[in-house]
Each structure stands twice: as structure tokens, then as C-alpha cells.
Amino acid sequence: MPELVLSGISKRFGAFQAVADLDLTVGNGEFVCLLGPSGCGKTTTLRMIAGFETADRGSLLLDGVDISNRPPNKRDIGMVFQHYALFPHKTVAQNVAFGLLMRGKSRAEQDEAVARTLQLVKLAHLADRFPRQLSGGQQQRVALARALAFQPSLLLMDEPLSNLDAQLRDEMRDEIKRVQQEVGTTTIFVTHDQSEALALADRVAVFSEGRLLQYSDPAHLYEQPSDRTVGRFIGKMNELEGRVVNTSPDGTLVALAGGGTVLCGPSELPSGTSVSVMIRYEALSVAPLSGGHRDAGLECRVSRRTYLGSVIEYELILAGKPLRVWMPNNSTASRLSIGDSTTIFFNPSDALLFAV
């Protein structure tokens, strides 16, 4: 049985449609990320699941039970907030025990659960400290332990890593995944960071303007976005405008708006269709313009070179339009300079076509 089922959920704030006709199913033990830019509806969806907002219409089923009209404290849901929401006057152990105390658990039950969850998040040695004596990452672990201490049916996390620096954010991301896998709690995690979503989730739900655009596993989402909006939001993507010349089982030939033709993967788009050809930065290869390369690829000129450590990002000008490429720092192409002429290549299957 699915752990959580949202059917036809909608929410409006005055004239603003925050969430529209949302259908979403989260399986038992699954880790799902709600991903999208600010104002897309992901946090409103989380708050409706938690009970902090009431849907205008639709239903929410948890373990087969309709919880749409239940107050938050009756939903058996743990919550980790963006700003931790720890009690400053309580110790780590007292913070973790708070939910258990509110549920009427005995002192012995509280002590056992606190010890278990602090051990889980590797903070047992800090049980007697206060939040002000902890680092940001440690406070986040306390918040996670508090949400898990009463063994909820569902764990909700609202951008819990956004206040941490980059290195600590990566460390905490790995810790959250480890803890979730160890306890097996069904988890919904809200983020605007695509790398977090791809690294953490079993499935990712991409939102835009209150609507769910795509819901799939990270690999499928990255490699086969459902439309241009998803493609633009996930990873780094180039877009070239063109028109389909012809289609065949071997691929689709596209005449680019600025000149030149490219072969893309097979599609069902008829000849004459205006299309956007989307190619990720890392799917492109570049080579110096010489010998056999001249007729094999599209001729470009290097307009910018940016050192990014493990990769070099080139901005190339193709028929007057900028195109960006990531090349390994140890490759021959990484020695190209601004002003050099070059050619670009890509596997036809790496070019995504969308009608415009």
C-alpha cells in the first residue's frame, strides 16, 4: 500500500494559485524530493501534508486513512524545519524528547528513544549541551533526531540544508541519506537545489507555477526531461533553435536557425516543425579546427574560458549565438584559448528535441 497519496490537491491564496490539481503518490520507505524555484508550490504542498495549510480541494491519504482535516499533531508526521526551531533553553536531550513528552510517553520510553536517536545521528556525547553550544550542522542533526524520535509514519523536511555552508551542506546531505536508509522512514524533502534532489531522492517531483511537471527517478529526470522547463532547471543546458528537415529511424536532421545542420536522436516530429535542440554542457566535445575536423562538426570560436577546477567551461559562438561546453581539465581541448577556432561534436542521442 502506498504510504502517502495526494489526489487533486489545490490551494489558492487570493488570486494566486499556489498548487493546482496535484496528484502525487509516495511509496512506503521512499525518499522523494519536491524540487523547483521559489514560489513554485513545493513548500505549500509540504505544509498541506503537515497540516499547517488546508487544501481548498482534494484529499490526502496516509496509510489509507484520509488525514485532510486532521490537525498537525494528529497526523503522525515528523517535521524538520529550515531554521531548526530548537528550544534554546532546553538541552539536546530535552529537545529530542519534546515530541515524546507531548505524546504522553513515560520517562523510561523517552530516555530509550532519545538515546537511540542521538546514537543514530552521532550526537550521544552532546546530550547535555544547549543549542547555542552547537554548530549549525549539529543543530540540524538534533532537529532530525527530534523528528524521528517518536518513529513517525512520515518525515517532512523543508529545505533543511539551506542555512549551511557548501562543505557542511554536502556532509549533512550524506548524513540525512544514511539516516533515512537506516531507519527506512518515508521521507519528503523540499529543496530548490537540483544537486541535492538528484543525490538524495528515489524519485524527484519537479514543480513550476503550482503544477507538477515531471515525477521520476533522478536518472530518467536528468536524461529524459519531459519538457523544456524541466530540461532548463535540471543541469546546465544549451538551447539551439532550428527546424526539422527530415526524420528517419536513424535520427532527426535539424537545420539550425543560424546556419548548419545537426543530427539528433530519432523523434516523431514531422518535417518543417520548429524545434529547440537542447544539449547539456558536458555532452558536447570540442576540438581544434584542423584537418578532418573541419567537415565533421560545427565551426565555432572561443569567446570565453573559465577555470572551474576539474573542468574548463568554454563559451563558444556558433552562428552568432553563445554555446557553453564543459571539458575535463586534463583534455587536449582544455588548452584552447580565447579567439581560437574550434568545432563541436555530440552524440545524436544526447540532443533533446522539443517542438516550439
- What digits encode the pLDDT tens for the residues 249-305? 889 999 999 888 899 999 999 999 999 999 999 999 888 765 444 445 788 999 999
Specify the pairing of strand 65-66 against strand 251-256: unpaired
The answer to whether the pTM exceeds 0.85 is: yes
Stretch 152-180: mean pLDDT: 91
Instruction: Give 283's DSSP letter.
Output: G
28 contact partners, CB below 8 Å, separation of at least 6: 1, 2, 3, 186
Supply the DSSP string of 134-164, one letter for each residue: S-HHHHHHHHHHHHHTT--SEEEEESTTTTS
pLDDT for the residue numbered 166: 84
Q: What is the pLDDT of residues 93-146, one digit of tens each?
A: 999 999 999 898 999 999 999 999 999 999 999 999 999 999 989 999 999 999
> What's the whole-number mean pLDDT along residues 172-198?
94
What is the mean pLDDT of the segment spanning 309-337? 87
Roughly what angle, to the nearest 10 degrees, separates helices 107-120 and 166-183? 120
pLDDT band at 2 (very low <50, low <70, confident <90, very high): low
- CB atoms inside a 10 Å sphere around CB 307: 9
Q: Which domains are seen in the chain, by residue range?
A: 4-231 (3.40.50.300), 236-355 (2.40.50.100)
Instruction: Give the list of residues 6+ apart from residue 212 with CB closer than 8 angstroms, or none.
Output: 22, 23, 24, 205, 206
Note the pLDDT of residue 293. Answer: 40
Q: 337 pLDDT exceeds 50?
A: yes
Position 105 scores a pLDDT of 92
Confidence bin at 200 (pLDDT 50/70/90): very high
Q: At what angle do helices 136-148 and 107-120 cross, to 10 degrees?
A: 130
CB neighbours of residue 294 within 10 Å: 11
